[in-house]
């Protein structure tokens, strides 16, 4: 039985559902070939068939994974599973991932919205928003 490399072990721990959702979201209605060509031109080789497999929930190799992360504007760690730590991706993390994948937003706009969402979420969690005064 072949020994799994550290890179292979890391890529196996990817939340492929989240990655697939964001790839589909960013691709939108554009064709697989068009998007694969764009990614290839900007970040390196990614085929249309590979994009299709990722959208179907198949884990790509490490090089393709890194290219997809750059295309999505996401850090590779964003898709790391947290099952080994007994934690799931938090709601704010999921929202941030969707904002980063939104092709209608510039990266700075997505980050600004993510920051506003984090601040509002934290304020709600601390009870600073939504409580009636004097009640």
Tell me: the pLDDT tens digits for 68-118? 999 998 888 788 765 444 456 677 877 877 777 776 778 788 888 888 988
Q: Where are the domains of the chain?
A: 8-125
Instruction: Quote the tokens at residue 65.
Output: 């994974």
Stated pTM of the model? 0.56
Q: Model confidence over 8-37: pLDDT tens digits?
A: 444 446 788 889 888 998 998 999 999 999
Write down the H helix ranges in the chain. Answer: 6-12, 16-27, 32-43, 48-55, 62-72, 91-101, 107-125
Tokens 């506003």 belong to 116
The whole-number pLDDT of residue 45 equals 96
State residue 102's pLDDT score.
72
Q: What is the pLDDT at residue 11? A: 47
Looking at the predicted structure, is the pLDDT value of residue 41 above 90?
yes
């Amino acid at each position: 039985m072949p020994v799994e490399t550290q890179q292979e072990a890391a890529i196996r721990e990817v939340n492929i559902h989240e990655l697939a959702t964001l790839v589909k979201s960013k691709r939108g209605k554009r064709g697989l070939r068009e998007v694969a060509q764009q990614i290839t031109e900007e970040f390196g080789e990614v085929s249309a068939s590979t994009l299709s497999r990722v959208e179907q929930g198949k884990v790509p190799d490490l090089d393709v994974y890194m290219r997809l992360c750059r295309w999505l504007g996401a850090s590779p760690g964003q898709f790391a599973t947290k099952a080994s730590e007994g934690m799931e991706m938090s709601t704010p993390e999921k929202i941030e991932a969707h904002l980063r994948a939104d092709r209608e937003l510039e990266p700075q706009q997505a980050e600004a919205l993510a920051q506003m969402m984090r601040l509002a979420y934290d304020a709600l969690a601390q009870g600073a928003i939504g409580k009636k005064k004097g009640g």
